[in-house]
Chain A
C-alpha cells in the first residue's frame, strides 16, 4: 500500500487523545489474523483499522468481509460506518443492504426457532436437553453480538448442570462472554469459581482448562491495571497451550478465540518487566521452565528480559520500542502500553541510578537513547510521582542522589513523633476535661432541637471582632501601649 496523506479521521482522533499508530507494524496482517478465531478476529481487525494510519484500509476491509461471513449485523454496520468516515470513496464503504436484510431475517428465524425448541425441552423436563438448549442459545446470541442475552442464557444453564464438567463448560463460556463484554471483574469471578471447585477434588476438566484459566485470569488483571498479579498469572500458565495448533479448530488446547500462546508470552513478559525486580525476573521468568515454552514463541521478549536482568537497559528498551507499534495494535494491550512502558522505563532508570551519587543528564540520555530535555522532563515526572528518590541540579545538569544522614534523620523523626504525641495527648486530655466538666456543645434546654446548629449560640457570637487584616497596624499589636 502506498504511503499517502493521513486521512482526517486520524488527525481528529489524535486530537481527541486517542491512540493513533503511524509506524508500520512488524506484523503481517493476514498471518496475524489467521491465528485467531471467532469474534476476536473482527474486534482485532476493527481496532487496527481505527488505530493504524498505515494499515487501516486493509484492516477495515478485512473486518467488513469478516463481519459479512458472520451473522452479527450490527458489527457489519459499524465497520462500514467507520470505513465511510475514514475513506468515503472506497467501494466497501456502502452498506450491502440486501445482505443486511437477509441476515436479519435469518437471525430472527434462528432465534425464534431456538427459543421455541428450548420451550419444548422445558415442557419435557429433561435436564440435559434444557441445558443443551440454553447452550445453543448462548452460542447463538454470542455469535450475533447480543452479549448480555448470551450471558443470561449461559447463566441460566446452571440449574440444569448435572456434572462437574457441565459447570466447567458453562463457566468457560461465561468467561469468554465476559471478556468480550469487557466486564473483567465478572470474568475473574468465573475463573475463581472453576478454580474453587477443583480445589478440594481434582477435576480433570479444570486441569485440562488450567492454561486457559491462567490466560483469562491474567488478562482480566491486566485489564484492571494490576500488572503484578497479571504477571504472576501468565507466568504460572500451564505450558500445555504453547503447543496448540492454532489453525486447527478441533484442537482443544487452543484458546485463540481470546488469545494465542504468543500473546501470553508478550503480556506476561511485559507485565513482569513492569512490575518485578531484577532478581524476580531472573527467578520467576527466565528460570521458569513452564513459561519458557511460551517465551520461545516470542524470542525478542526473552531477549529484552535478559538484557534488563543484565542491566543493559538501553538494549532492552530499544527492543521494546521497535515492537511498540505492534503492541499498540493489540486489542488488550493498547490501553496499557503507555503505562507499562513508563513503568519499565522508570524502573530501568531507578536501577541504573542505584550505584551513582550523581549522573549527568547527558550520560543518562545516552544510556536511555534520548536527548537531554526529554530525559530531564522524564526525571522530573518520576521524582514528582515518587518513583525516584533524587533531585535535579539544573545548573550543573546532573541528577543527584539524596544524601541521607540517618542519625540526624532519626533525631528529627523522634522529635516530630514526640511533638505529635504531645499534641494528640493534649487534645484528648482537653476533650476528657470538657466532657468531665459537662461542657460539650449541646442545645440549651427549652429550645428543642435547633436544627442546623446555628441558632443555638444565640446572639453572643457575631463573627468575631473584625477581619484580622482589614486594618494596618493590627499585625503586631502595635496598638497596645
Chain B
C-alpha cells in the first residue's frame, strides 16, 4: 500500500524544483503516471490506507490532481469495468461527504494536469449532473460544474458537451443568474468531430501554454464528448432561454441567431424551428419591429422557416403595423388570442403575453419620432388602453423613464396628471445621453472586443489551413496557377503573429 501511495504521488515532484520541468519532460512523466494509474484496480484505490483514513483524505487535489480524480471516481462509480449504466454509489448525493469532496475537487484541481484526464473529468461531470437530476436537486450540481468548465478553459471560448449539460441544468433549476459566468463567455471554437485536421505540431504537449483553448480541447483529449449538431443547437437555445428569463433580449437574440443560422445540410432541425419562433418574438420585444434574417441563411432554409412558422410571422406583422400606424393594441390582442393554439404547445405563451405589454412601450417610444413634447392627455389618447386614465398613463411613462427605456423628461406643473408634460430628449440631452467621455469609453471597449475576436479569427484560419481538404485544394490550386505564383502556397498568415493581417475579409468571402 505504501508503494502504491508512493507511486501515485511520484509526480509532480514535491517540493517543486526551483526550475520548472521543460514541457517535454513534464509530458513524458505525466503520461507515465496516467498509464500507471489506469492499471490499478479500483478496489485498491478505495481501500483504506494503513494508519486509517482514506486516500482522498491524504491526497491534495490541487497538487496530485490525477490520483485524486481516479480515486474519487472509483468511490463514486465502483470499479471502472462496470461504469456503464451509470450505477453510482449511494454515498454520492448532494450534501454527502463524498459530494463535498467532489465540489472541493472541482474548485481546486490543477489546470495543467487535468488536461491528461479529460475523459475522467467528463465522467465526473456527467455523473454529478445525472445524480443531481435524479434526486431533483439540479441546482446542487451547478456550482461544481461551473467551476470545472471555467477552470479547464479559462477563456471559455471552446464549446464542449459539458456546456450543453450545464445550460440544461441551469434552465431546469431556473438558476438563470448562476448560469451567466459561463454563458457570458463567447464561444468561438468547436472541437472537430471528424478527423480532418492534420496533426497539431504547434502545440505538441497538452501541458504547454496554449494560446487558444481550442488546441487542447480536442476529441482525443476527452474533455468533450463526441458532439453532434444537436449539442450546440441545444446549448445556444438553452442559453437564449436563460437570457430571456433574465430579459436580456439582446444577448438572447444573438444566441437564437446562432441557432437559426447554423449551417444546414438538407432540412432544418426542429430545434432550429423552435429557435426561429422565439427569435421572431424576441426581436419584437427587443427592437419593436421584426428583424430580417441573417444573410448567411440559405434560401431553402429561409423558406422552411417561413413555411413552418407563419403564425409567428403574422403576429410580427400585426405588431409592426400597429406601431407604425399608431393603432391601439386591439388587433394585436385579437391576433395573440386567436393564435393560442400555436403559442401554447411551443411554450411561447409567456413571450406572447409580454409582447402585448411591450406594444404599449414601443407605442410611447414611437411618439418620440414625431413629437418633441406632449401632454399626458395626448399620450393617453394615443397609446393607453384606457384613453381617459391620465394618472395611470403618467405612472406608466414615469416607469419607462426610470427604467431607462425612454430618453425623456417629465414636468408636472400641477397635480392634475392630464397637464403633465413629457419632453422627449434627443441623443445629446436627457437622462440616457452619453457624455463625450462615456462615448469614448464605449468605443475603446468595443475596440478591445473586436481585437479579441480577431485573435480567434486568426486561430480559426490557422485551423482551417491545417484542414486536409483545404490542403489538398490548395495543392490543386497551386498546380493550376503555378506559372504566375512566385512563392509557395499562401505563406500561412498565422505564422506572422503581428498585426499585418489584412486578409481576414478574404477568409470570410471564401466560405
Contact = CB atoms under 8 A, between A and B. Distances in A.
Interface stretch (B341-349, B475-483, B492-500): B341-349
B401 interface: no
A26 B500 CA distance: 76
B421 interface: yes
A436 B446 contact: no
Interface stretch (B10-18, B19-27, B187-195): B187-195
B193 A438 contact: yes
B463 interface: yes
Given A443-B267, A451-B267, A452-B267, A403 B426 contact: yes
Interface string A310-341: 00000000000000000000000000000000
Most buried by B among A403, A435, A443, A469: A469
A422 B262 contact: no
B91 interface: no
Contact of B266 (A391, A442, A470): A442
A461 B171 contact: no
A427 B296 contact: yes
Interface stretch (A71-79, A121-129, A235-243, A406-414): A406-414
Contacts of A439: 190, 193, 227-229, 231-232, 262
B261 interface: yes
Interface stretch (A94-102, A174-182, A226-234, A392-400): A392-400
B139 A434 contact: no
B427 A408 contact: yes
B254 interface: yes
Interface in B211-252: 227-234, 237-238, 241, 244-247
B37 to A, nearest CB: 30
A91 B342 CA distance: 63
A405 B446 contact: no
Nearest to B447: A418
Contact of A431 (B246, B269, B296, B374): B296
Contact of A437 (B227, B439, B447): B227
B241 A477 contact: no
A468 B350 contact: yes
Interface string B413-454: 000000001011011100000101001101100110110010
Residue with the highest number of chain B CB atoms closer than 10 Å, among A409, A433, A449, A450: A433
B112 interface: no
A391 to B, nearest CB: 4
A429 B265 CA distance: 18
A480 B172 CA distance: 11
Interface stretch (B116-124, B270-278, B329-337): B270-278
Nearest to A475: B245
Given A396-B373, A419-B446, A477 B263 contact: no
Nearest to B449: A422
Contacts of A476: 176-177, 246
B346 A463 contact: yes
B443 A418 contact: yes
B439 A415 contact: yes
B347 A467 contact: yes
Contact of A436 (B241, B378, B453, B467): B467
A425 interface: yes
A481 interface: yes
B178 interface: yes
B457 A429 contact: yes
A465 B171 contact: yes
A462 to B, nearest CB: 10
A474 interface: yes
Contact of A427 (B246, B261, B446): B261
B202 interface: no
Contact of B267 (A396, A438, A456): A456
Contacts of B187: 430
Nearest to A394: B374
Given A403-B426, A468-B244, A392 B370 contact: yes
A419 B294 CA distance: 15
A441 B272 contact: yes
Interface in A256-279: none
Nearest to A382: B370
B370 A384 contact: yes
Contacts of A432: 460, 464, 511
A380 B178 CA distance: 48
Given A429-B188, A441-B229, A411 B439 contact: yes
B424 A391 contact: yes
Contacts of A430: 187-188, 190, 258
Given A441-B264, A468-B241, A393 B371 contact: yes
A429 B227 contact: no
Given A426-B453, A440-B263, A392 B176 contact: no
Contact of A441 (B186, B265, B423): B265
Interface in A35-60: none
Interface in A169-208: none
A431 B372 contact: no
A43 B174 CA distance: 73
A428 B294 CA distance: 10
Contacts of A393: 371-373
B446 A422 contact: yes
A464 interface: yes
B136 interface: no
B1 interface: no
Nearest to B507: A432
Nearest to A449: B266
A23 interface: no
A466 interface: yes
Contact of B196 (A380, A438, A451): A438
A443 B266 contact: yes
Given A430-B258, A461-B234, A480 B139 contact: yes
Nearest to A381: B370
B511 A443 contact: no
B8 interface: no
A479 interface: yes
Contact of A450 (B267, B272, B273, B354): B267
A6 interface: no
A461 B264 CA distance: 18
B233 to A, nearest CB: 7
Interface string B301-329: 00010001000000000000000100000
B370 A383 contact: yes
A453 B229 CA distance: 13
B266 A402 contact: no
A469 B355 CA distance: 12
A423 interface: yes
B232 A434 contact: yes
Contact of B453 (A396, A400, A425, A465): A425
A296 interface: no
Given A395-B373, A452-B267, A477 B246 contact: yes
Contacts of B460: 429, 432-433, 436
Contacts of B241: 464-465, 468
B338 interface: no
Interface of A: 380, 383-384, 391-396, 400, 402-403, 405, 407-409, 411-412, 414-415, 418-419, 421-443, 449-454, 456-457, 460-461, 463-470, 473-477, 479-481
Given A425-B508, A475-B245, 9 more contacts: A383-B369, A391-B371, A394-B374, A427-B257, A429-B456, A431-B511, A440-B263, A453-B269, A468-B241
> What 6 pairs across the A-B complex have the smallest Cβ distances?
A469-B350, A480-B175, A453-B267, A477-B176, A442-B265, A437-B190
7 contacts: A391-B370, A395-B423, A424-B294, A460-B230, A464-B241, A467-B348, A480-B175
